[in-house]
Amino acid sequence: MPENPLSLLLETTDFAWRRPAAAATELTSIHWRADQCDAGSILFFQRFDDGKTDAEICARYLTSCPCSALVTNRMLDCFDDLPAKALYVTRPGEWAEVIRRFCDILYPLRPELRFIGVTGTNGKTTTVKYLESILAAHGQRVLSIGTLGVFRNGERLVETGFTSPPLIELRRLLHSHQSACDVVVMEASSHALDQGRVQGIPFLSAGWTNFTQDHLDYHHDETAYFNAKARILDGIQDGGRLYCSSAAVAERLAGQTAGQVPIEWIPPASPGAEALAAKPFLALAHNRENYALASVLADLALGSTDGEHWRHLEAVDGRFECQVFGNRTIVIDFAHTPDALETILTAIRHGFPAARVLTLFGCGGDRDKSKRPLMGEAVARHSDRVIVTSDNPRTEDPERIIQDILPGVPESIREVVIERPEAIAHLFDLLAARPADEPWVAVIAGKGHERYIDRHGHKTYYSDQDEVARNAARLGWS
């Protein structure tokens, strides 16, 4: 009888340390979550420097896990508390590659399947959705994976809760849907690239939107953050390119990578009057950049050039999502970094030169605190009125988060309304109190497509879109 392939791979992999099980077990599955394991599972558990002790990690995830084997990326102090499990520790830098080998056994990929990746601080989701629309319009069967979930031919299949799912989950999804798609377009976050979540994914080519401060709570400094994103180059196959919307990113990469992969800067698109009338979101400079990047990646995948890709674009959920009530324009957008707020508010000032601007925003808890006053400064530069509120406080006190924001916003233009639904109601009341012929643009920033508030470790349903609809109905606006 042939030996179990999972057992054989465990035995033949060059681990840094191992403690095999005392008795052989029939291995049938691999998982990245302890609560999905059974007695035939291998659990791949990646340990991070998150402030928790090994004892806490073991008690929370590992002690009660029924898996037969545990593979980790480093030694854990709690190994003695797991006497019934086979234990394996990967060599430094080999964690993702080890998982990739196991995925190849259970979730092999069709060699003809084509992959395109997109990274960057802002604009990944919009670029991927534009690319998905263009390819589908040209007859391609497209699977897209990103912040908004997993879509096949434009129809949502599942929400993963990740911009880039963990590698085992990614491979399971790809394996399940690969027979119904020709091209996979996917976001590649800095976390995913740093943690090897896209290990072994053969990118035909890739795009990089931009680079600004974000995620320093995880990466600690700007250099580490940039270098994490630069790892997308490792997945680009021979003959592929990295296309950048940012000339500064392209120049910096060219200086660091010494010709590893050709890098090309793509200038913003210049859509004509017909395109802007049909697709008003292309009036925004950053969307013209996203569109240009999506177009060149689409042309590469299609093997042809079409100068009117804009005809196939659709607005993206929570990305400059507009509703107009007379002279009052309400914009819901995911902008949640200093650069993203600067970009969208600058675009609004240019696109609506006669309008006054009211911005509602907050900052997420348990994330980079240094960007909070910077976000306040970006909003204050371009807003006539500002409402500071909550945005996923997580385990932090919302009032404490807001206090970190306020140094960036002059007291003369700001108000604080802690609870987000009450803040949006107040925004509508402020607009309703202004003369009907006075044009205003109100930006509700930070949540975008998200339909929850993350507080005290729990996500409860919440939607900026629902609050806008509720308040418009309350005031009789249509």
- CATH 3.90.190.20 in the chain: give the residue spans: 321-475
What is the predicted pLDDT for the residue at 2? 47
Whose tokens are 């990305």? That residue is: 319
The DSSP secondary structure of 205-223, one letter per residue, reads EEEE----S--HHHH-SHH
Domain 5-105 of CATH type 3.40.930.10:
no
321-475, superfamily in CATH?
Mur ligase, C-terminal domain (3.90.190.20)
CB atoms < 10 A from the CB of 430, how many? 16
The answer to whether the CB of 94 falls within 8 A of the CB of 109 is: no
Token pair in block for residue 408: 């960036």
What φ, ψ does residue 330 adopt, rounded to 5°?
A: -105, 125
Residues of the chain with pLDDT under 70: 1-2, 213-220, 258-259
The answer to whether the CB of 82 falls within 8 A of the CB of 63 is: yes
What is the predicted pLDDT for the residue at 209? 96
Q: Residues near 422 by Cβ (< 8 Å), separated by ≥ 6?
A: none
The answer to whether the CB of 291 falls within 8 A of the CB of 284 is: no
Whose tokens are 């999804």? That residue is: 173
Token pair in block for residue 447: 């949540």
SS3 of 127, please? Answer: helix
Compute the C-alpha angle 324/330/334, nearest 5°. 135
Label each residue of 298-354 as H, E or C.
HHHHHCCCCCCHHHHCCCCCCCCEEEEECCEEEEEECCCCHHHHHHHHHHHHHHCCC
| Number of helices followed by number of strands (H, E) in the chain | 16, 21
Edge-to-edge, what's the strand order for the sheet holding 29-31?
A: 17-19, 86-89, 69-72, 41-45, 29-31
Q: Residues near 442 by Cβ (< 8 Å), separated by ≥ 6?
A: 328, 329, 330, 331, 357, 358, 359, 360, 427, 431
Taking the C-alpha atoms of residue 74 and residue 201, their distance in angstroms, rounded to an integer, is 24
Domain 111-312 of CATH type 3.30.360.10:
no
- CATH 3.40.1390.10 in the chain: give the residue spans: 5-105
SS3 of 64, please? Answer: coil
- CATH 3.40.1190.10 in the chain: give the residue spans: 111-312
What φ, ψ does residue 465 adopt, rounded to 5°?
A: -60, -45
Between 338-351 and 371-382, two packed helices, what is the crossing angle to 10 degrees? 10
DSSP 440: E
Q: Hey, which bits of 90-172 come out as E strands?
A: 114-119, 142-146, 149-152, 155-158
- Which residues are 444's β-sheet partners? 332, 360
pLDDT per residue over 74-123, tens digit each? Answer: 999 999 999 989 999 999 999 999 999 999 999 999 999 999 999 998 89
CA dihedral 201, 206, 207, 211 (to 10 degrees): 50
Which amino acid is it at 262? P
